Structure 1
Amino acid sequence: MTAAQIALLALIQGAAELLPVSSSAHVITAEKLMGLDPTTPEMTLLLVMLHTGTMFAVIVYFWRSWKKAYFSSWSGFRQNATGVVLATACTGIVGLGLQYAIKHWVLASDPNFEIEHLFGNSRLMAAALAAAGVLIIAASLIPERSSRRVGGSSAMLIGAVQGLCLPFRGFSRSGATISTAMAVGIERRKAEEFSFALAVVLTPAVIVKEAHRLLTASGTGHAMAVQDLGRMLAPSAFGMVLSFLAGLAALRWLSSWLESGRWYLFGAYCLVASAFVLWLR
């Protein structure tokens, strides 16, 4: 994998990860166009490192508003932190439950199954993109409420929907969670802040999981896998920096369109992208 390929993937990831258009679908499509295999452990590690870059972009972008909402008072911290914990727990239950169901019911307990094997399925990706597009457009049609905050029940619903995004590349995490929050009457800005707070909590667990997968994937032993990891870290770190910068720009774009009532345009884009993925396969 060349530096130019890594740079291109990083810019795509940074621009698309924080927009509700599914960065994974875009990155995987770009990998296929460049002749790269998106299901390999090395490519998965790169994708996770790019996610790390955008995670830091989220922290930088939302830090002031989170500081005010989460850390200005004990009651505010307790209420918001409880919502994040409940949502994350529901994400784990739904996401792991789906993975178990796919492995044991759909694939008849295939011992070699990894959830990453689904990432190269173009039809599944196209269907997920279309579902995200419909959800985004539907949520944009609901009038905004200016006072409702994220409560326990709404946090659990948002977390459950986030769990649906984990095994299906193309079903945008930010698009699904923000749209779900809007659908239950959460103010748009608060929906955005809560969605990306969930992302920051979820990303470290994904990084640990995928790093472990890379270390244990080599058929020639643990030592060779460690060498592979060391070889991949430097180019992946380069991509992470680029994805961080692109992520900051993307967040400004998202906030502008969300607050100005142009959220539905992201949904329309997802529908077009779905058709393109089907054509490309």
Structure 2
Amino acid sequence: MPSLLQIIILAIVQGLAELLPVSSSAHVVVAEKLMRLDPSMPVLDPSSPAMTLLLVMLHTGTMFAVIAYFWKQWKFTYFKDALSFKRFAIRAAWATILTGLIGYPISKIIEKTVFRDAPKAQIEDLFSHLEWIAPALLAAGILIVIAGLMERRRMGDFKSVSGDGVTMRQAGWIGFIQGLCLPFRGFSRSGATISTGMLAGSSKERAERFSFALAVILTPPVVLRETLRLVKAVHGSPTGAAEIHAAFLTSLLGMVFAFLAGLVALKWLSSWLESGRWYLFGIYCIAASGFVFYLHTAGY
């Protein structure tokens, strides 16, 4: 089991990076490697019951942070009346369907090609490969910079004709790009979807609001999948139940820290969106891609 300090660090990294457009998975993978939690540097296997439980709790913490932060906005936009909810539900369903249609086949293609010699390989096996994370961060950074610079050049005049929400076309593009984010760690989901919404003509605020509503829709299936992995890991390990029991309280603490860090990240994100500094997140991602590539060449 990682130390309490390591859990707190991972929780803060997850909470901040999950809700900023900088790719939480890339940052968590790098943090794990730097703290020697990667399986190639075996202090602890990240697929063990204890680490799987921690991952579930961290995702749950950030999901609750999104709900707490955006609930008032959603209440007065998506849930203010039956028509508004219907419009939102149709667009969210359309975006989510496109996400699945794009993300699932790409994941399976990667599993059958990159890991064709490993029959039991899953897309998760790709997540710790820094040589894949670095270009994904670079791509996300370029997309964010383009959207940010276009927004500044147009003086923030991104107009949506859909009232309080995005249009079907904008929702479709957001869902499409979200599907590309699923199999590629480093290709920031929030960064890519908000930037895509802006480039498709949505205002920054509407793109942000819709992007994180989709995140809440996607998080329960992710948590469910990790929970199933947890159950499988427990049954496959003679000490699995004991690991879960020992890790529960510290994982719960990790969830709390992820929740608090998530709230800070969302407040920071919203203020930078409002002040026209969105492109700076892109510059950060580009710089981070260089650092990740350096770590890869250094043998991490």
Q: TM-score, normalised by structure 1?
A: 0.94
Question: In the alignment, what sits opposite 2:139?
Answer: 131
String of CA shifts for 1:199-239, please: whole Å, max 9, x gaps: 00100100010111122135745x75444434333221110
Greater Cα shift, 234-243 or 145-154: 145-154
Q: Which whole-Å deviations, capped at 9, do the CAs of 1:234-265 have from their partners, x for residues lacking one?
A: 22111010011111111111001111110000
Report the structure, 1 or 2, having the larger helix content. Answer: 1
Q: Distance in 1 between matches of 2:3 and 2:60?
A: 20
Query: Which residue does 2:161 correspond to in 1?
Result: 148
Is the contact made by 1:216 and 1:225 (CA closer than 8 Å) also made in structure 2? no
For structure 1, list consecutive stretches of 5 or more residues without a partner in the other structure. none
Q: Give the TM-score normalised by the residue count of structure 2.
A: 0.88
How far residue 83 of structure 1 moved from its aligned partner, in angstroms, is 0.8
What percentage of aligned pairs have identical amino acids? 54
Determine which of 235, 247, 256 is the counterpart of 2:271: 256
* Greater mean deviation of Cα atoms: 267-276 or 143-152: 143-152
Counterparts of residues 1-281 of structure 1 (less than 5 Å): 1-37=2-38, 40-42=46-48, 43-108=51-116, 110-142=118-150, 143=154, 144-149=157-162, 150-217=166-233, 220=236, 224-281=239-296
Q: How far apart, CA to CA, are the structure 2 residues paired with 1:155 and 1:187?
A: 13
Q: 1:115-144: CA deviations, max 9, x gaps? A: 111111001010110010000001112233
Are the equivalent residues in 1 in contact too, given 2:170–2:201 (CA < 8 A)? Answer: no
RMSD: 1.8
Q: Distance in 2 between matches of 1:240 and 1:158?
A: 28
Q: Which runs of 4+ in 1 moved over 6 A?
A: none
Distance 1:226 1:114, change over 3 A: farther
Deviation of the 1:95 alpha carbon = 1.5
Tell me which amino acid in the other structure corresponds to 1:190.
R
Offset, 1:40: 2.5
Q: 1:31 offset after TM fit, Å?
A: 0.8
1:154 partner letter: Q
Mark the runs of 5 or more structure 2 residues left unpaired by the alignment. 40-44
**Cα distance in 2, alignment partners of residues 18 and 152 from structure 1:** 24
Residue by residue over 1:126-175, the C-alpha shift from the partner in whole angstroms, topping out at 9 and shown as x without a partner, is 01100100000011122332333312222122112111111211111100
Is the 8 Å Cα contact of residues 103 and 109 (structure 1) preserved in structure 2? no
